[in-house]
Amino acid sequence: MRTVEYIHLKELGNHQRKNPGIYPVFKRIHQIEGELVGEVEGYSDGFGTRIEVDTPEILLN
């Protein structure tokens, strides 16, 4: 079973500062209580090439 990762779109700038060169690829974007939240499908580099990330929670620390 795959766990689903979500990122608040307003926190995307913080994510980019902590992980330069790694961009989340969103499968869907939901609106929850007035906030936009992206369902992460995977990650890519600056050129759109997919990157395998085994533990995405490490990216957010």
The percentage of the chain sitting over the pLDDT mark of 90, rounded to a whole number, equals 34
pTM over 0.85? The answer is no
How confident is the model over 20-37, as pLDDT tens digits? 888 999 999 999 999 999
CA 59/CA 35 separation, integer angstroms: 22
How would DSSP label each residue in 1-61? -PPPEEEEGGGHHHHHHHSTT-EEEEEEEEEETTEEEEEEEEEE-TTS-EE--S-HHHHT-
Domains of the chain, by residue range, sit at 5-59
Tokens of 4: 């689903």
Q: What is the mean pLDDT of the chain?
A: 84
